[in-house]
């Protein structure tokens, strides 16, 4: 499992499905705009497989996951 260094929610894609929040509330939350955001400082301590599970749960692939080298590993 690669080390995950950056997780981004593409706001233009997010439809507020909130499955990411259900899978991993330690990292994802819904903002006042009804779209998900990544909680500050949460990625470093989160389990990489759990982050990928949350990203895979998004119906519109709005969650971009990058490894420590900056390579996009999902989607």
Structure tokens that stand for 49 in this block: 């497989």
Which of 24, 16, 27 has the alpha carbon at shortest distance from 60?
16
By the rule CB under 6 A, 62 interacts with ligand F3S: yes
19 contributes a contact to ligand F3S by CB under 6 A: yes
**Spacing of C-alpha 47 from chain mean position:** 12
Instruction: Tell me how far, at minimum, the Cβ of 60 lies from ligand F3S, in Å.
Output: 5
Q: Using the rule CB under 6 A, is 36 a contact of ligand F3S? A: yes
| Cα(20)–Cα(43) distance, integer angstroms | 13
Q: Which residues bind ligand F3S (CB under 6 A)?
A: 9, 14-20, 35-36, 57-58, 60, 62-63
């Amino acid at each position: 499992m690669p080390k995950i260094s950056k997780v981004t929610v593409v706001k233009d894609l997010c439809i507020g499905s909130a499955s990411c929040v259900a899978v991993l509330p330690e990292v994802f939350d819904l903002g006042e705009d009804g779209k998900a955001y990544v909680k500050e400082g949460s990625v470093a301590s989160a389990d990489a497989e759990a982050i990928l599970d949350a990203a895979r749960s998004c119906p519109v692939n709005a969650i971009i996951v990058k490894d420590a080298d900056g390579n996009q590993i999902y989607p």
